[in-house]
A and B are shown apart, each in its own frame.
Chain A
Amino acid sequence: MSQSATSGTNLTGIAAAPQRSQEMVRGMDEFPPSSHDGAHSIAQVRIAYAQLGEPVGSVPQPADLTGKVQAAAKAVMGEKPLLLIDKLGERLAFERSGTRLYEALISKHEAYGSFSGGPSKQDLEQVMEEEYRHFTLLQTAIEQLGGDPTAVTPSADLSGTAGHGIKQVIVDPRTTLLQSLEAMLIAELTDNACWETLIELAQRAGEDEVVRPFQQARMTEQEHLDKVKTWVAAGQGRP
């Protein structure tokens, strides 16, 4: 099976049915809209609901803030005490889901095989292991700050919602390895940007114990991004 899309009987465009499409367009003249004001009406509804002020949820209070841990947590969290926990929870959820996504990519590799310049099974297994190690690193970091690594923070929740489409592409048996890697590229780009955020938050607090392993993780994620970009380019025939 080709890794790229192939030519076929796609029926979605108006060119696939020119006469029916023209009939539809002519109908607009005879049957105008029954309400007016354009898309502005939609904005009004959105604003009205947003102003009700119901949040997605909250960051759980660290359960075990005592002694040195408490001091470290305060220092790391700085003026926004919950932001770091929220973002740590987000990365943890992302890396955990990322591990599962690479598992699915390995299945895809086994089903379709790779392509010239594409990843080997070992390449994908290595990235999966590194995603898993990042997950455990974040687990430890949250525990050290007195947080609960099993809790879903608001940012973790929203990143799950945002990443839903990526997962849907990768686990769909109809998509090829290349198509799945293109979806994974979105995840890796986001992952890199978010590790930068985490490091900056930790650096502001001067907490080297947290910063150093995070910087290492960030470097590894940069390697993942470079690899996925290279694989995608090779699959698309771009040198």
Chain B
Amino acid sequence: MALDLLKDKGVPLEQQRFTWRELVQPPFSKLDDDAFTRVRVILMNGIESEALRFGHACARMNGDLQRALARVRRVEQHQQTLVNWLNPADQSPLETTIGFEQVAIEVTASVAESEPDPYLAQVYRFGLLEDFDHMYRYAALMDRVEGKDANTIVQSYSDILPGRPTSLEHRDPIDDLRNPYDRTQAALLTKLNALTIMAGEHQTHDYYMTVGPTFADPIARQLYAEIASIEEQHVTQYESIIDTKETWLEKWLLHEATEVYNYYSCVEYEGNPRIKRIWERFLEYELGHLRFVADLFENTEKRDAASVLSTSVPQPIRYESHRDFVRQVLRTEVNLSAAGANFVDRSQETQHTQNYRNHMNSEGSPSDAVAASYIWTPGTELAAPARSRR
């Protein structure tokens, strides 16, 4: 399917309508649907959540855009509802969490491989190894507290192995800030990648902050608190790579282009025909939003939307296992840390980061405790021939 960001008009905004029954559709099957259907649902919920977050921030700073923002945002909110409500009720918060980390591994790996800017590709690989470790810690939690196998969720697409240990990921806030791309020089794909991953990570943070207190086990409550803190670090990292000199309307235009790009990627890979029809419908809706904002941009800023967007859509996000790529990154970059915007060997970390981490871990590390000696085994560690829990 070939898309033209500047010519395809999609569904006009005024024709984008829902009923409550449409918003609440039957969910996907946790047992029978492909893991990447869940990955897409989780990511697209994050993409729409970012659309709302941005829209509200923009409205608070730009009175003259409030009417236009309110109209588009209402549709985005309904899109988010429909997408997020595709998660089934028998998928527990911890199982959904495993899904979030699979998003962070596989989508970030796809983005890291496609990113044309070498520094930003490094940024994505850096974050990837940290989320990769979160998967392992949550899998240990699921195994040891609930007696469940996280692989029933990831379906053997993603490894369940230690990455950069979560207990070592805690850094001084200043060491989470990165250098931004240059809005005048960066490729469109660079901008779409940054918005996609920032959106996903922000939603991950917000999800952990919401479900963390619903767990009764203190080790679970601690682990969610610890990993939510890292997700805040990741949001700090990923929003800092976006050029702050983009105008509000330019940012809005890029948000809509990111949504188009993401729904397009979903359409290209979705195997469930019912869910695919939803992605197709929303791709048309987002093209409508993009056209609406492009007109607004051109009329307001008196410059061509083509100065921000290119006609063609980049290659879609690859919804497939990136096992080999991730393992190679793990082998070569697990010992990296950050000093300011630069990536350095752990031995060269700043004193601020060391002090911060040492204090945070001074009364124990939840992520170390939950996964002590943990080795993922098909069917949980209780199924291992030699019972490793003993």
Interface, chain A (partner B; CB < 8 A):
49, 52, 54-58, 93, 96-101, 104, 132, 135, 139, 149-154, 157-158, 160-161, 164, 167-169, 171-173
- Contact between B217 and A93 (Cβ–Cβ < 8 Å)? no
- Contact between B147 and A99 (Cβ–Cβ < 8 Å)? yes
A–B pairs, 19, beta carbons within 8 Å: A54-B27, A56-B29, A57-B29, A96-B147, A96-B380, A96-B382, A97-B148, A98-B147, A99-B147, A100-B146, A132-B382, A149-B383, A152-B152, A153-B31, A158-B90, A161-B89, A161-B90, A167-B146, A173-B216
- Contact between B379 and A150 (Cβ–Cβ < 8 Å)? yes
Is B218 interfacial (CB 8 A cutoff)?
yes
Interface, chain B (partner A; CB < 8 A):
26-27, 29-32, 88-90, 92, 144-149, 151-152, 216-218, 220, 378-380, 382-383, 387
B218 touches which of A132, A152, A173 (Cβ 8 Å): A173
A49 touches which of B26, B217, B220 (Cβ 8 Å): B26
Give Cα A133–Cα B220 distance, bound, in whole angstroms: 27
Contacts of B383 in A (CB 8 A): 96, 135, 139, 149-150
Contacts of A172 in B (CB 8 A): 216-217
Give Cα A183–Cα B364 distance, bound, in whole angstroms: 30
Query: Which A-chain residue is minimally distant from B220 (CB atoms)?
Result: A171
Give Cα A173–Cα B221 distance, bound, in whole angstroms: 11
Query: Which A-chain residue is minimally distant from B33 (CB atoms)?
Result: A57
Contacts of A171 in B (CB 8 A): 145, 216-217, 220
| Shortest Cβ gap from A156 to chain B (Å) | 9
- Contact between B216 and A54 (Cβ–Cβ < 8 Å)? no
Contacts of A58 in B (CB 8 A): 31-32
Give Cα A132–Cα B383 distance, bound, in whole angstroms: 9
| Shortest Cβ gap from B82 to chain A (Å) | 15
Give Cα A152–Cα B382 distance, bound, in whole angstroms: 16
Contacts of B147 in A (CB 8 A): 93, 96-101
Give Cα A173–Cα B149 distance, bound, in whole angstroms: 24
- Contact between A54 and B26 (Cβ–Cβ < 8 Å)? yes
Contacts A57-B32, A157-B30 given; indicate if A150 touches B146 (C-beta within 8 A).
no
B382 touches which of A99, A160, A168, A173 (Cβ 8 Å): A99
- Contact between B29 and A52 (Cβ–Cβ < 8 Å)? no
| Shortest Cβ gap from A196 to chain B (Å) | 22
Besides A54-B29, A56-B29, A57-B31, 4 new A-B residue pairs in contact (Cβ under 8 A), listed by A number: A52-B26, A57-B29, A132-B387, A172-B217
Query: Which B-chain residue is minimally distant from A151 (CB atoms)?
Result: B152
Contacts of B218 in A (CB 8 A): 173
Give Cα A169–Cα B89 distance, bound, in whole angstroms: 20
Contacts A56-B29, A57-B29, A58-B32 given; indicate if A135 touches B382 (C-beta within 8 A).
yes
Query: Which B-chain residue is minimally distant from A98 (CB atoms)?
Result: B147
| Shortest Cβ gap from B191 to chain A (Å) | 38
- Contact between B29 and A55 (Cβ–Cβ < 8 Å)? yes
Contacts of A152 in B (CB 8 A): 30-31, 152
Contacts of B92 in A (CB 8 A): 160-161, 164
Query: Which B-chain residue is minimally distant from A170 (CB atoms)?
Result: B216
Query: Which A-chain residue is minimally distant from B217 (CB atoms)?
Result: A171
Contacts of A57 in B (CB 8 A): 29-32
- Contact between B26 and A157 (Cβ–Cβ < 8 Å)? no
Give Cα A224–Cα B262 distance, bound, in whole angstroms: 53
The 9 A-B pairs at the shortest CB distance, nearest first, are namely A57-B31, A97-B147, A172-B216, A171-B217, A54-B26, A150-B379, A100-B147, A96-B147, A168-B216
